[in-house]
Amino acid sequence: MLHPAIDLKLVNPDIGYGVFATQDIPKGTIIWALDPLDQIIDQSKARTLRDPADTQLRRYSWVNGSGDRILCWDFGRFMNHCCEPNSIGPGKLEFEIAVRDIAAGEEVTCDYGTFNLEEPMTCACGSPHCRGRIVAEDFDRIAPALDQRVRAAFRDIQNVHQPLWPLVQKWRLQIERGIAQPSHLPSLLENRWPRVPVAAPARQRRANP
Ligand SMILES: C[S@@+](CC[C@H](N)C(=O)[O-])C[C@H]1O[C@@H](n2cnc3c(N)ncnc32)[C@H](O)[C@@H]1O
Ligand SMILES: [Zn+2]
């Protein structure tokens, strides 16, 4: 569910609609959180879909760290990508926070590079740091910088009004830990799908066998 001070508006005919702040939203505010009305569509169900449902699902959902597709029931599904996003989530915790103050009238954006894209997207975000093409391979490269931005904003979570607070209660312990020690927040890399196998540590050679 999107923060209540965010609404749908047309960006332009190329990008289509996007979501915009209707009042100032301070850094640390929970912008979006998974809620019980959102659909979680597993891979076997997704494989059964035919057009037009298949195309709609691919456009309006993203793939989480378990390979499931998340389809928001509200305007959350219209959040556009920006190569300098103002909303980013920690890994695994199924919510996003404002990583800087967002002014009334500004578009609220996220980074699709960590959404396990199946198709590349040509980006028109207009940022001076625009990557041009957003591809699945961005994930490993961009996640550390996005993690840093979430961690830098995370302590503010306790200092700002949080209308979506009831939706993140299942993550209360992780949030408390993250406030005390932001470096302990799970990395976005935990959302990567398919999972990259962790290399087994090289066998230690015995000295003087
Ligand atoms: C989840 S939808 C977002 C809502 C979409 N703008 C609409 O009105 O349907 C994702 C689609 O929006 C467009 N989009 C989102 N961010 C974009 C960007 N930075 N540059 C170009 N197109 C973008 C792409 O067509 C993408 O496949
Ligand atoms: Zn861009």
| 26-49 confidence digits (pLDDT tens) | 999 999 999 999 999 999 999 999
Query: Which among 72, 75, 121 is the best mutation to test ligand 1's pocket, defined by most ligand atoms within 8 Å of the CB?
Result: 121
pLDDT value for 207: 43
Query: Which among 11, 57, 81 is the best mutation to test ligand 1's pocket, defined by most ligand atoms within 8 Å of the CB?
Result: 81
The reported pTM is: 0.93
Domains and CATH numbers, the chain: 6-38+73-183 (2.170.270.10)
**184 pLDDT higher than 70:** yes
Instruction: Kindly report the three-state secondary structure assignment for every residue of 90-129.
Output: CCCCCEEEECCCECCCCEEEECHHHCCCCCCEECCCCCCC
Ligand closest to the CA atom of residue 132? 2
**How close is the Cα of 135 to the center of ligand 2, in Å?**
11
Neighbouring residues of 33: CB distance < 8 A, sequence distance ≥ 6: 1, 94, 95, 96, 164, 167, 168
